[in-house]
């Protein structure tokens, strides 16, 4: 039996770091939003072991791959006699780009195997496995927009705003998340937290004010080392974006637009640049992504 589905990218409309924890992770508050740039994933229950095939040459296909680790954690922790699994991934989402592509793949594999292996795990149990695999993975089981606290894994639902356009620009170099966190000056980030005001405008679908209040404490660190990020932001504002920001720890910058025609015009103007470019829309609900039976489980 096999399942074929697509897993989305995410952006962080806001990301505030409040401190460093004993376990080395940072305590944060973030507003996650899924967008309709997708990887394609196929999960097939097969005899033998866990096998991952990915069409991206730089993405590992062994135990370092998050999708592999999703299958492994279920195999190791759920009683039962499972056969192997073959996971095929077609990458569209840039890797190392702050868009959570690998985290989305991992979450999709958890959902698919819960169904294919008939594990009957609840959303809470799946989210617990997800948070052991990575801070952003629970969000992809929870979607499609949410407030994340703790490491980013403690989630609360947000009412989706009306859909809006998001242009993603990836400068074609990856950025290491641990490196970005290691460069943070916590004295500078501990102050103001604008996530609640951003959340207010988001819930009112006031895209213009969402744009004006985009905030990411990781952005200054990345701009200092990679000035091209600031250049991309300047290009987006000159082309009419309501606001632009680094997504997560980068390297992707996004610009938000409340007028689809302006987004399309900006996209056309940016096409000559040496960047990877995507004109996307926000996702409203998980039901837009996964087959119904994959997300039909107890809370």
Annotated catalytic residue 10: yes
Annotated catalytic residue 259: no
Among residues 36, 39, 136, 258, the one annotated as catalytic is 136
> Phi, psi at residue 266, to the nearest 5°?
-65, -45
Q: Does 22 bind ligand C5P (CB under 6 A)?
A: no
Please pick, from the candidates 6, 18, 25, 183, the single residue that binds ligand C5P as defined by CB under 6 A. 25
Q: Does 195 bind ligand C5P (CB under 6 A)?
A: no
Q: Does 91 bind ligand C5P (CB under 6 A)?
A: no
Q: How far apart are the first and last CA of the chain?
A: 25
Q: How far is CA 238 from CA 33, 94, 215, 234, in A?
A: 24, 24, 19, 6
Q: Is the dihedral of CA 236, 238, 243, 248 positive or negative?
A: positive
* Closest of 169, 129, 151, 235 to residue 11, by C-alpha: 169
Site size toward ligand C5P (CB under 6 A) is 11
Q: How far is CA 199 from CA 15, 120, 144, 244, in A?
A: 12, 34, 14, 16
Q: How far is CA 271 from CA 96, 168, 282, in A?
A: 22, 12, 21
Q: Does 181 bind ligand C5P (CB under 6 A)?
A: yes
Q: How far is the CB of 213 from ligand C5P (least distance, A)?
A: 21
Nearest-10 crossing angle of helices 123-133, 66-77: 130
Residue window 134-153: x/- pattern of binding to ligand C5P, with contact defined by CB under 6 A: xxx--------------xx-
**Closer residue to ligand C5P in complex, CB, 133/169:** 133
Q: State how far the Cα of 184 lies from the Cα of 218, in Å rounded to an integer.
A: 7
| 181 CA to centre of own chain | 17
Q: Does 248 bind ligand C5P (CB under 6 A)?
A: no
Please pick, from the candidates 26, 213, 235, 242, the single residue that binds ligand C5P as defined by CB under 6 A. 26
Q: Does 177 bind ligand C5P (CB under 6 A)?
A: yes
Q: How far is the CB of 137 from ligand C5P (least distance, A)?
A: 8
**Closer residue to ligand C5P in complex, CB, 26/213:** 26
Binding site for ligand C5P (CB under 6 A): 25-26, 28, 134-136, 151-152, 177-178, 181
Active site residues: 10, 136
């Amino acid at each position: 039996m096999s399942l074929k589905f697509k897993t989305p990218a995410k952006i962080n409309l806001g990301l505030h770091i409040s401190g460093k924890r004993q376990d080395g992770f940072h305590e944060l508050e973030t507003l996650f939003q899924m967008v309709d740039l997708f990887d394609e994933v196929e999960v097939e229950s097969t005899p033998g072991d866990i096998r991952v095939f990915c069409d991206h040459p730089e993405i590992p296909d062994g135990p370092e791959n998050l999708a592999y680790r999703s299958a492994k954690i279920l195999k190791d922790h759920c009683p039962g006699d499972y056969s192997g699994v073959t996971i095929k991934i077609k990458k569209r989402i840039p890797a190392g780009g702050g868009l959570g592509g690998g985290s989305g793949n991992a979450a999709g594999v958890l959902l698919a195997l819960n169904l294919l292996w008939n594990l009957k795990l609840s959303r809470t149990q799946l989210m617990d496995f997800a948070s052991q695999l990575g801070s952003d993975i629970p969000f992809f089981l929870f979607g499609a927009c949410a407030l994340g606290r703790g490491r980013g894994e403690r989630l609360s639902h947000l009412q989706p705003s009306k859909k809006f356009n998001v242009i993603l620009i990836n400068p074609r170099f990856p950025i290491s998340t641990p490196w970005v966190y290691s460069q943070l000056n916590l004295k500078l980030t501990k102050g103001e937290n604008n996530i609640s005001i951003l959340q207010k405008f988001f819930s009112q679908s006031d895209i213009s004010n969402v744009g004006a209040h985009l905030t990411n404490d990781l952005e200054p660190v990345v701009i200092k080392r990679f000035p091209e990020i600031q250049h991309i932001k300047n290009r987006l504002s000159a082309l009419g974006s309501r606001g632009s920001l680094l997504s997560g720890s980068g390297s992707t910058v996004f610009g938000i637009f409340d007028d689809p025609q302006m987004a399309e015009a900006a996209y056309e103007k940016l096409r000559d640049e040496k960047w990877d470019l995507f004109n996307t829309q926000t996702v409203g609900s998980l039901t837009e992504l996964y087959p119904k039976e994959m997300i039909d489980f107890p809370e």
